[in-house]
Amino acid sequence: MREPVRYSDAIRFLGADEERVIHLIDRLARGEETDLLAARTDLVRFAHRAVNRLEREAHRLGRLERTRRIAAAHTAIVVTAFFEALDDTELPFELNGPGTGLDAATVDASSPRHLGEFVMLLVGSAPPLPRPQRPPGDARARVRRFYARRCKQLPAVVRRMPMWEELGEAYRSAIADRLGSGLADRCLLRYEELRDKLAAGFPEFGAWANLHIERQRHAALPEAASGLVRLRNRLQSISTGGTPSPERAKAARDHRERLVAPVAALAPGATAVHLPPLGIAYVDPRFRAAEIGPAARPHDPEWWETASRVRDDLAEFLLGHLTSPRALSAPLVVLGPSGCGKTALTHVLAARLPEADFAVVRVAAHELAPGDGTAEITGRLRGVVDPVLEESARGDGALPVLVLDGLEELTSRATVSRSELLERLSRFQRERAGGDAPVVIVVTCRDLTAVRVRFPAGSVAVRLEDFTDDQIAAWLDTWNRVNAGYFSHNGVAPLDIEALTPHLGLARRPMLLLLLALYDGVGNALRRLSAPLRETVLYERWLRRLAESADRADPRVTGRPPEADTDPPVRTGRIERALLTTSLMAFSMFNRGGWHAPAEVIAEDRSRLLHWPPHCAPPLDPARMGCAVPADGPVGRLSFTHPALGEYLVARLVAEELADLAEARVRDLRAIRPSPPDDMFLRALLSFTPLSVSGEIPRFLTERLSLLAPGIRDELRIVLAELLRGPGVAHHDHPYGGYAPVPASVAAREAAYTANLMLALVAVHGGAVPLRDLFGADAVRRWRRHAHLWKSQLPPEQWVSLVYALEVREGHDGLTVGPGAVCAAGCAGTPPSAQTDLEFVARECALLADSGTQRLVHALEPLVRVFGGDVTARRDDAPSDAHVLMTLAFGPVDGGDDVLVAAYERAFELADGLDSDERLRFQVFVLRQLRGHAHRLGARLVPLLARHVRPIGVAKGARASVRRLAQEHNDHVEAVRAVLAGRW
């Protein structure tokens, strides 16, 4: 059942066991029944009977069947309200004699064709369905517009009354007024009565329509504000009460066990304070919700400011979405900055959904194999979902929910881009929705990754907002209660909002709030700070504390010499070496495309990169650091408590090495025997993966480099420029030649290294870099050589990340290269076609300095702006939608009439996928082109009109176009009119 549901389909679905009603609706749909008085009486009675029966039988319906019947019932009550308001409409005068009432007009045999038009339009209409991501008044406004359109058609029916010609102008105007906006208002009032009755029997429908928002001030009972407890309570209240299979019950227990685990994973001994369980520490976040269209910029906070208001009813929204038809046909995308609680939300959601009605399968994106392509990855996901679907098909009615957590952690070395993966998942979902085994898909993704992801059309996006002061206070209350004994025993004051006030910019994200609490848990360290912490400084201080704690743990294990306790420089050196080895662990993961790696691989990488002299004590094993924890999946793999820690450690080591290069250059300026910069260690680290694959690393790197002294930054710019202008030959005889985390050719390593040098140069500049200053007079040619090397050698996702991380612009002094859409303050500068292939092509050809493609992109931009939709995309081997539109506008290049007819078929299919306003504009364009091709297509027009033109029935301009088409196409005018009979 498609969304929205047509009235005729709703009646057939609800009345499947009432043959008389089915026969009646079929006759109305074909225009064979024009006795609207008798028909609407029967249909109104049936609608009330069907809704009452639905309420009585609700407890016996499975989750999917319940959703479908509610959607059909809503369509039925929309049209029923129209019928009932029409029944109550009285003409503003009295006429004596038979055949003078409104019903008489509808049964007037003198104009069955015109009445047939109205009846068929009404029966074939699809009233808008409430959507939980829309504002509270949106559903009401759209239903009001639906009634207004129907009411505009009524006066034409009334004008067929036998006594219409006898009425004066005043009476005619009064009738038009009574059947116009006044009738639409009465329809709306009656609809709201029926809607509220349906919501009383089906609370999830009330969540679809956001009725709780309009009535919150009347709420009498307090609501749970954390842990999505209200979501579970609401779902259990409408549960079918079925018994889950043993496999599903075990999976549900596993999800619930995560609620009693600590809120974050830390190695034993990493901290003395107690971490509260996730189930009680989780605070329901505020959020914004919106649908993703072609012009959406879900990565951009500024777009969200205008696209949606802030909401605090996450449980009610999820209740509405997970039980709505939209959840079965498009994914729910949860967005937000790093550390905002997306992963925690997936754990809590999986634990709170009742296993009697939902079968949750949670998959972490980093668990997907790095060598797999799109088909293999989606095949894996199908493999985990299909058993659940088969179980549901056996009759227990549970709705499968696939949760893909951390789209940004999909390995950067995969042969599939994130956009392709989402498109395949969306196609998989649509295929399932077309049958009897639909699946709900939830995906989480960072803002900084979302900038380079094209989300499937119709997806619902949710962006998690920062904590408010009240939410911070609620979290602190839980933290202080759990640690009351520790605070009392160690003389530590509980953490309060006053201590966090200087650091509120960090405390508004749950992960950073936890780090602040852990940092303050040792001697109330936050209260001793003289300045607000920055994010990178918080990571640095916390990691140093972990290194000190791990190094002091056991000298026999850590190899700590006795002088480390009495000699501060020795102790500082050991801490620095511990952070270095931990950074190398981060590089072991990063260069392999993710944030996890086997412990033995990490140790092998470290031995190839670090060579300790015999007189130095061995450094601390990074596996003993409190931030290193066992990864999900195979035993023996390590990961970080949060990927942001690994990203910071990568940026930290790169910044340290770059600073060493700049300082070495300063020393060489005063040296008797200057030497070229020694970048062999840096080359070993940076010649496998561009730093841009993680949007956080360039941001952290920029912040670290900004702390360097101005003179060191100036020298660093010169060093990086010299390395970029170098011969471009990798050294194989250097001491780090054995380090090869992944197989890579010489060209691929040179591509990754030079790309990283460019990213570092942009970071240290803090803005645009003039290419003429970098490469001289031959700047464009040399830049193109670098850019084409990157495109040819980097894996798809790495190249895409570079396209968005660097932006080439034409200025007065030539080309400049600066930071792209990903920046410290968020994302900006995205064109209106952000969700189209054209947007990526525009960025790519700019980076390649491809002026020819840029001109073609510029020529296509009006097509996207006028028609919307992803008109430049190709699906499989089919022509792009832009090609179809230009074929209609200018005629086919070759192939003759067959190509033209196929173009019209595709154009009408494209129109079905657009929103109402875009669809209307698009259909008018297609009909105008159809008029111009009438003589050429001849008799082939008849089936084309029958399939596509006749069911439109929207715009006056469209109707006029078809009328002219029928009048001018003399050879087939009768056939065309026969097709349009009862419609125009």
At 805, phi and psi to the nearest 5?
A: -85, -25
| Largest separation between any pair of C-alpha atoms in the chain | 119
Query: Residue 218 — very low, low, confident or very high, per pLDDT cuts 50/70/90?
Result: very low
Task: Tell whether the model's pLDDT for residue 160 goes beyond 80.
Answer: no
As a whole number, mean pLDDT of residues 133-147 equals 91
Tell me which of 216-230, 231-245, 326-340, 773-787 is least confident. 216-230
Contact by Cβ (8 Å): 24, 9: no
User: What size, in residues, is the chain?
Assistant: 984
Task: Tell whether the model's pLDDT for residue 957 goes beyond 90.
Answer: no
Q: What is the pLDDT of residue 733?
A: 62
As a whole number, mean pLDDT of residues 644-666 equals 95
Query: Residue 958 — very low, low, confident or very high, per pLDDT cuts 50/70/90?
Result: very low
Q: What is the pLDDT of residue 290?
A: 95
Q: What is the pLDDT of residue 93?
A: 47
One-letter amino acid of 68: R
Model pLDDT for residues 906-923, shown as the tens digit of each residue:
887 777 666 655 666 677
Q: Cα–Cα distance between 641 and 634 in angstroms, integer?
A: 17
Contact by Cβ (8 Å): 230, 262: no
Q: What is the pLDDT of residue 467?
A: 97
Task: Tell whether the model's pLDDT for residue 974 goes beyond 60.
Answer: no
As a whole number, mean pLDDT of residues 588-613 equals 90
Q: Cα–Cα distance between 417 and 423 in angstroms, integer?
A: 10
As a whole number, mean pLDDT of residues 449-459 equals 86
Consecutive H or E run containing 760:
helix 746-765
Bond preceding residue 4 cis, omega within 30 of 0:
yes
Tell me which of 383-392, 442-451, 532-541 is least confident. 383-392
Task: Tell whether the model's pLDDT for residue 181 goes beyond 90.
Answer: no
Q: Cα–Cα distance between 604 and 470 in angstroms, integer?
A: 48
Q: What is the pLDDT of residue 90?
A: 72
Q: Cα–Cα distance between 705 and 710 in angstroms, integer?
A: 10
As a whole number, mean pLDDT of residues 550-559 equals 67
Q: What is the pLDDT of residue 981?
A: 45
Report the range out of 108-117, 526-535, 721-730, 871-880 with the highest average pLDDT: 526-535
Tell me which of 233-242, 785-794, 923-932 is least confident. 923-932
Delimit the domains of the chain by residue range. Answer: 7-216, 246-264+284-465, 646-830, 887-980
Task: Tell whether the model's pLDDT for residue 829 goes beyond 60.
Answer: no
Task: Tell whether the model's pLDDT for residue 384 goes beyond 80.
Answer: no
Q: What is the pLDDT of residue 826?
A: 37
Q: ∠ CA(107), CA(109), CA(114), 5° rounding?
A: 80
Query: Residue 603 — very low, low, confident or very high, per pLDDT cuts 50/70/90?
Result: very high
Task: Give me the DSSP letters along 122-158.
Answer: HHT--PPPP-TTS-TTHHHHHHHHHHHHHHHHHHHHH
Model pLDDT for residues 275-324, shown as the tens digit of each residue:
999 999 999 999 999 998 877 889 889 999 999 999 999 999 999 999 99
Average pLDDT, the chain: 82
As a whole number, mean pLDDT of residues 954-981 equals 46
Domain 246-264+284-465: which topology? Rossmann fold (3.40.50)
Tell me which of 173-182, 562-571, 807-816, 882-891 is least confident. 562-571
